[in-house]
Amino acid sequence: MKKLRAAIIGLAHIHVINMTNDFSRHPDMYEIVGMADVPPYTEEERKERIRKNVPADSKVTLFEDYMELLSKDIDLAIICTDIKDHADITVKILAMGINVVIEKPMCIDSEDAERIYKAYKESKAQLYVNWPIAWFPAFRLAYDLARSGEVGDILRVQYRSPATTGPYKPGELPEEELLKSWWYHSDRGGGSICDYAGYGCVLTTWFAGKRAKSVYGIRKNFISKFSDIEDYSAFILDFGECVGYVEGSWTTFNSGEIPTGPIVYGTKGIIVTDRHSTEVRVYTDFAQYMPSPPPNKVLKPGECCDDVATGIYKNLVLGEKAYELISADFNLDVQAALSAGIRSCRSGISETVGEF
């Protein structure tokens, strides 16, 4: 079995832990050659990122120079920088002919998306964007049911944040410490839009099956007054025949037993899922107030999905088609919607989704 040589580039994203674990659990498929941070950073910042984001029991070699690491005959670069750095580092690595997976989202705006996509098309390397929700079994089942016509024509798709206050728990770190992190700086991609509203753009675009036509967005800073980020955001995406409702929040202290979604409303019923459940509920009986017991679709043991490492391996080595939610073309549509939503938050009006 061919083994791919992987490198983790950037230690700024807390999902470094997830990516390290996902690729490490497949030693027959991957050798993680090393990990390295991307400058500029101080030595103190580098040590702090290692302390927070590198698994304590990790046996992966730490390199001080990421270019030295990339020179080690690398097949796949796993990008875990802050979001603003995605474009510069991805363009550079694609030009080297090295395959790239970016930890979500693709980038910070449409200009960077164009740069990344152009570099991808000019390279012989593959490009992926990892969204953790791409590997949720219940979401895949809901998608299959929706696309099969289980609840008729799709009219609207909703997704909201789970209980979360952002990358850190309430009171876990003082405000002055939070300000040292890119998560609390808008120009680096910090805030709830690139984090949780991005998930909603993925899911609504996926279920709609097309690029949005326009997006209206709002952003609020409710409890993070010490920074310039938004800790709440909401988008309405117009797909023409259906609409998407997206909420990105760092101010949800309890979900209140309300499903995150995606919730799919169709002409003949609704499909309800939650990111913390493997159950997919399908309601097809008309009921205005108290719905009749719905038929449940419960995933059986073994009915699970690949993880990001397996999905990429199947594409690069086995020649299988890349899963849609991590593919470059699909993520260009997602980024177009996300960028339009960000522009709308600034302009106060609905923004047309570009054709880049």
Average confidence (pLDDT) over 60-88: 96
- Distance between CA 81 and CA 84 in Å, rounded? 8
Average pLDDT for 176-187 = 94
For residues 143 and 56, give the distance between their C-alpha atoms in angstroms, rounded to a whole number. 37
> Domain range spanning residue 23?
4-132+307-326
pTM of the model: 0.94
Residues 141 and 123 occupy one common structural domain = no
Chain-centroid distance of CA 268 in Å reads 30
Q: Stretch 77-85: mean pLDDT, rounded?
A: 97
pLDDT given for residue 318 in this prediction: 96
Torsion of CA 247, 252, 258, 262, to 10 degrees: 30
The answer to whether the CB of 63 falls within 8 A of the CB of 69 is yes
Nearest-CA neighbor of 249 among 224, 225, 212, 227? Answer: 224
* Nearest-angstrom CA–CA distance, 153 and 225: 43
Same domain, residue pair 312 and 348: no
* Element at 272 (helix H, strand E): strand 269-272
Alpha-carbon torsion 190, 191, 194, 195, what sign? positive
Give the pLDDT score at 52: 79
Q: pLDDT for 5-53, tens place per residue?
A: 999 999 999 899 999 999 999 999 999 999 999 987 777 788 778 887 8
Q: Are residues 115 and 187 in the same domain?
A: no
Confidence of residue 114 (pLDDT cuts 50, 70, 90): very high
Q: DSSP secondary structure string, 201-264?
A: HHHHHHHHTS--SEEEEEEE-SS-TTSSS-SEEEEEEE-SS-EEEEEEES-BS--TT-----EE
Task: Please indicate, yes or no, whether residues 169 and 150 belong to a single structural domain of this protein.
Answer: yes
- Percent of the chain past pLDDT 90, that is, above it, reads 79
pLDDT at 57 (0 to 100): 76
* Mean pLDDT computed over 220-229: 96
pLDDT of residue 55: 75
Q: How far apart are CA 160 and CA 261, in angstroms?
A: 7
- Same domain for 113 and 164, yes or no, is no
Is the CB of residue 322 less than 8 Å from the CB of residue 96? no
Categorize the per-residue pLDDT at 97 as very low, low, confident or very high, splitting at 50, 70 and 90.
very high
The mean pLDDT of 249-269, rounded to a whole number, is 94
Q: Is 239's pLDDT higher than 90?
A: yes
How high is the pLDDT of residue 299?
63
- The pLDDT score that the predictor gives to residue 285 is 81
> What pLDDT shows up at residue 303?
62
CATH code: domain of residue 345: 3.30.360.10
- 193 plus 300 within the same structural domain: yes
The CATH number linked to 40 is 3.40.50.720
For range 137-154, the mean pLDDT: 93
Residues 299 and 312 in one domain: no
pLDDT attached to residue 295: 58
Domain count, the chain: 2
Per-residue tokens: 111:
């200009």
What is the Cα–Cα distance from 144 to 146, expressed in whole angstroms?
Answer: 6
Same domain for 188 and 311?
Answer: no
328 φ/ψ angles, rounded to the nearest 5 degrees: -65, -45
Between residues 119 and 64, the one the model is more confident about: 119
Do 279 and 143 share a domain, yes or no? yes
* Structure tokens, 32: 């993680």
What value does the mean pLDDT take over residues 324-337? 97
- Say how far apart CA 53 and CA 137 lie, in whole Å: 26
152 Ramachandran zone, left/alpha/beta (phi>0; psi -120 to 50): left
Whether the per-residue pLDDT at 283 is higher than 70: the answer is yes
Q: Identify which of 329, 264, 326, 323 has the alpha carbon closest to the alpha carbon of residue 297.
A: 264
**Same domain, residue pair 142 and 35:** no
Task: Say yes or no to pLDDT of 56 above 90.
Answer: no
Question: Do 162 and 276 have their domain in common?
Answer: yes
pLDDT of amino acid 354: 77
Lowest mean pLDDT of 56-65, 130-139, 232-241, 330-339, name the range: 56-65
**Alpha-carbon distance 98 to 218, whole Å?**
38
Q: What is the mean pLDDT of residues 80-84?
A: 96
